[in-house]
Amino acid sequence: MPSHGAPRAPKAAANDDGRSFLADKSAKVFVAGHRGMLGSAIHRRLTALGFTNIVGRTRAELDLACEAAVHKFFEAEQPRYVILAAGKVGGLHASSAAPVDFMTENLRITTSVLAAARRCGAVRKLLFVATSAVYAADAPQPIPESALLAGPPAAGNEWYAVPKIVGIKMCQAYRAQLGMDAIVAAPNNLYGPRDPFPPENSHVIPALIRRFHHAKATGAPEVVVWGSGYQLREFTHVDDAADAIVLLMDRYSGHEHVNIGSGREVTVHELAEMVREVVGYEGRVVWDTSRPDGVMRRLLDSSKMTALGWEPKVELRDGTKKLYEWYLRGCHTNVKASAHADID
């Protein structure tokens, strides 16, 4: 496990004049996972806001799961702010198929980055991105932040959820013991542009887009979707989530994590019909009820986030239409289609 060590006096201390995050746009901001769906949206948002010193590294340039490499990076770069949006992600099928990979990689990334951020002495604030999958399947709806650890994560989700729970508690521990301003955001079912476009064993909206497009292109008479279609889901566009994360960096410094959700629910059946219409596929949708539904409902109580002034702007149909247009521009060319769409 990483050693916390004795941190040097923060190099940023001489310039620590009480400026908020949004008033400190020349400071170095490390966006871990800047090529991912959420990380790239955060990067775009910071750039649009006028931040001039945003740092990112590809996996080839920096393996965030390697403790020594992460410490070396922080020692050299000395970022003032860190947004940890990196990790191994995927839908229910992906995490169930590779539980060791999901557990190990995500735990190593979290512990390595937190330890290095503390040890380098320059980091003023760190935000860790968790997930709504941390909550129990039978959590009260809408789910408040206080429901964390009220029960185990849903079966199949635990391989991704448990490392995220550890990340939440690690941030709380760093705050309590070491005085580090480490905060946590827990977004719900994000979707939006990503390059390369996610494969079909990832999250539900890109999976459905791929599946319906492939069926339309090949003239297939039907598309098979896992589950009953009765599951309720809340989807949040990644640009809205990026806005929320910037707001948290600017206005929030608290022990408890903060939910990020649009507050708008749709059944998976309604979602599939909407995606089918957006794509223009005219065949049948067949529901494979022998496959798991996952959690039947997961709606977040995002009142803490909205109290900070955040309001989601992107409607689901509009966001899905733009995502399909993104897909058609060629982001899908390097990933093969598979035979099903699974539900997060």
CA atoms within 13 A on the CB side of 324: 21
Decide: 209 and 326 in contact? Cβ < 8 Å. no
Question: From the candidates 81, 135, 160, 252, which is the catalytic residue?
Answer: 160
Decide: 269 and 227 in contact? Cβ < 8 Å. no
160 in active site: yes
Question: Per DSSP, which regions of the chain are E strands?
Answer: 29-32, 54-55, 81-84, 125-129, 182-187, 190-191, 222-226, 232-234, 236-237, 258-260, 265-267, 284-288, 297-298
Per 3-state DSSP, the chain is made up of helix, strand and coil in percentages (nearest 5) of 45, 15, 40
Decide: 129 and 185 in contact? Cβ < 8 Å. yes
Amino acid letter, residue 290: S
Which phi and psi (to 5°) does residue 340 adopt? -155, 165
Alpha helices in 28-132 (DSSP H): 37-49, 67-77, 92-97, 99-120
In angstroms, rounded to a whole number, what is the distance separating the alpha carbons of residues 200 and 202? 5
Say how many Å lie between the first and final Cα of the chain, rounded. Answer: 31
The DSSP string of 278-303 is HHT--SEEEEETTS----SEE-B--H
Of 29, 69, 62, nearest to 46 by C-alpha is 29
Handedness of CA 128, 257, 11, 247 (dihedral sign): positive
In angstroms, rounded to a whole number, what is the distance separating the alpha carbons of residues 80 and 33? 17
Q: Among all residues, which ones are annotated catalytic?
A: 160
